[in-house]
Amino acid sequence: MLRIDPGPSRKPADCVRPQTGTVPDIETTYAGALSERVVQAEAQRAALVAAIEETRSARRLMVADDEHDPDGSTASLDQARDVALLEQTDRTLSELAEAQQRLASGTYGICEVCGRPIPPARMLARPETRRCVVCAAAQVDRRGRRS
Ligand SMILES: [Zn+2]
Q: What is the pLDDT along the chain (147 residues), one digit of tens a residue?
A: 666 666 555 555 444 555 544 555 767 788 988 999 999 999 999 999 999 999 888 878 776 655 555 555 677 788 899 999 999 999 999 999 999 999 999 899 999 999 999 998 888 888 999 999 999 999 877 665 544
Cα distance from N-terminal residue to C-terminal residue, the chain: 77
Same domain flag for 59 and 32: yes
What was the pLDDT predicted at 2?
61
Q: How close is the Cα of 53 to the center of ligand 1, in Å?
A: 40
Is position 139 within any domain?
yes
What was the pLDDT predicted at 22?
52
C-alpha pair distances (Å), 74 with each of 58, 69, 124: 12, 10, 37
What was the pLDDT predicted at 144?
58
What was the pLDDT predicted at 97?
95
Taking a 5 Å cut-off on Cβ, the residues next to ion ligand 1 are 111, 113-114, 132, 135
Q: What is the pTM of this model?
A: 0.66
Q: How close is the Cα of 54 to the center of ligand 1, in Å?
A: 42
Residue 136: which domain range? 110-147
Is position 132 within any domain?
yes
What was the pLDDT predicted at 147?
43
Same domain flag for 69 and 118: no
How many structural domains compose the chain?
A: 2
Is position 101 within any domain?
yes
Between CA 90 and CA 94 the distance in angstroms is 6
What was the pLDDT predicted at 140?
75
3-state per-residue secondary structure call for 72-91: HHHHHHHHHHHHHHHHHHHH
Same domain flag for 53 and 73: yes
Same domain flag for 98 and 133: no
Same domain flag for 141 and 91: no
Q: How close is the Cα of 127 to the center of ligand 1, in Å?
A: 15
